[in-house]
Amino acid sequence: MSARLNRAQPYALGLFRAVIGFLFACHGAASLFGVLGGAMGGGTVPSGTWPGWYAAVIQLVGGTLVALGLGTRIAALVASGSMAYAYFKVHQPESLFPLQNGGEASAVFCWAFLLLVFTGPGAVAVDRLFSSRTSATREDRSPRENSPAVPV
């Protein structure tokens, strides 16, 4: 049982990444474009306002990148930081615990993205396509095991 679960781990991680990224991007789209119910129950965030508009851009762009698995670790780090900022600046002053201050989503997104920083994108990610190409190119350029050493 454990061996089967271990083999499925990269795919479960890839699915986790795609879902978390998609949900995060939806928050950004709602705030920027008023879709899916809009920002805070309707409307959009005024362009250029701090921190709401910038957070929405991070949500849309970062969530899309994470969902696709493109630049996952960097995008997840920025997204995690933005959610930590949101929690401590907006929610935590109201009350200590997320359940009391309405910061559950910020806290969960922050920790989910931080996990992706350390685990990487998992299977079925655009990052994997680029890493397999670069590793194949490196193997072509590296000296063969049986070839004689060239003096430097």
Residue range 52-96, pLDDT digits in tens: 899 999 999 999 999 999 999 999 999 999 999 999 999 999 998
Cα dist. 88→54, 82, 96 in Å?
A: 16, 10, 9
pLDDT averaged over every residue in the chain: 87
Share of the chain above pLDDT 90, in %: 64
pLDDT of residue 144: 52
Handedness of CA 4, 10, 15, 19 (dihedral sign): positive
Q: 19 falls in which pLDDT band (50, 70, 90)?
A: very high
Q: Which of 15, 29, 47 is nearest to 123 (CA)?
A: 15
**Model-level pTM greater than 0.85?**
no
For 24, counting Cβ atoms within 10 Å of its Cβ (0-12 exposed, 13-18 middle, 19+ buried), the class is buried
68 within 8 A of 24, measured Cβ to Cβ: no
Q: Which of 62, 72, 74, 85 is nearest to 129 (CA)?
A: 72
- Check residues 70 and 46 and name the one with the higher pLDDT: 70
Which residues are CB-neighbours of 24 under 8 A, at least 6 positions away? 59, 62, 63, 66, 67, 79, 109, 113
pLDDT of residue 35: 85
